[in-house]
Amino acid sequence: MRKLTVAIDGPAGAGKSSVAKVLANRVHYLYIDTGAMYRAFTWAVLEKGIDLSDEKAVRDLVDTIDIRLEPQADLCRVYVGSTEVTEAIRTQRVSSHVSAVAALAVVREKLVKLQQAMAQGGGVILDGRDIGTVVLPQADLKIFLTASVDSRARRRYLEVQAKGGSETYEDIAASIAARDDMDSHRAVSPLKKADDAIVVDNSDLDLEQTADVILGLMKERG
């Protein structure tokens, strides 16, 4: 196959990052975890105690922050400066604030430019909520990966339980539904299916089956 640029968009908890990693390993592409970049910025905002209404403080952080991704076979390691935040950015504390941070135009402008630069040349898979509409509108293949709120909440609940967390299924489902609403209605780059994106509903598919479906579409485009 020729080296494609693949954009995977969709709501929180649909498994975008997980399937993107599987696909990248299968076809030896670079996986660019855009969600991790927004989570890393959110982590920095929380660590510094920045009020999102303080435009100067947010702008100063945008101008000085150093976010790095180091893709590896099993995961994408994430750094803010010299601090690894791979695990820290997956906490519920970060999850509950990332939509508000990602909605800030100044933050998106900074991170979109970084993502576009990383995607030059093809052979990349990016996932997020506005990859096919804003970051890579000319992507060779655009996927809108979705699943029911119930399916997404159940998956997240099992992950939390496996890690010894205390969040209830009801809390997780409510959080996912709220984030769907916020992401879909934010003023800047809302969650939206690109007109030429292919919808893949994986409510009843596991990770490998989802990857199989998208790989088939990649082969058709390649």
211 is known to lie in a ligand binding site: no
163 annotated to a ligand binding site: no
222 is in an annotated binding site: no
Q: From its phi and psi, is residue 198 left (phi > 0), alpha (psi between -120 and 50) or beta?
A: beta
- Whether 13 has a binding-site annotation, put simply, is yes
Measure the CA–CA gap between 27 and 32, rounded to whole angstroms.
14
Q: Are strands 30-33 and 124-128 parallel, antiparallel or unpaired?
A: parallel
Judge whether 11 is annotated as a binding position.
yes
Q: Is 199 helix (H, G, I), strand (E, B) or coil?
A: strand
Would the annotation count 17 as a binding residue? Answer: yes
Are 94 and 103 contacting, i.e. CB atoms less than 8 angstroms apart? no
- For residue 192, say whether it is annotated as part of any ligand binding site: no
User: Which two tokens mark 24?
Assistant: 């990248």
The answer on whether 53 is annotated among ligand-binding residues is no
Half-sphere exposure of 201 (CA within 13 A, CB side): 7
Q: In this structure, what token pair is assigned to residue 55?
A: 């435009």
Residues annotated in the binding site for ATP, as ranges?
10-18
Residues annotated in the binding site, as ranges?
10-18
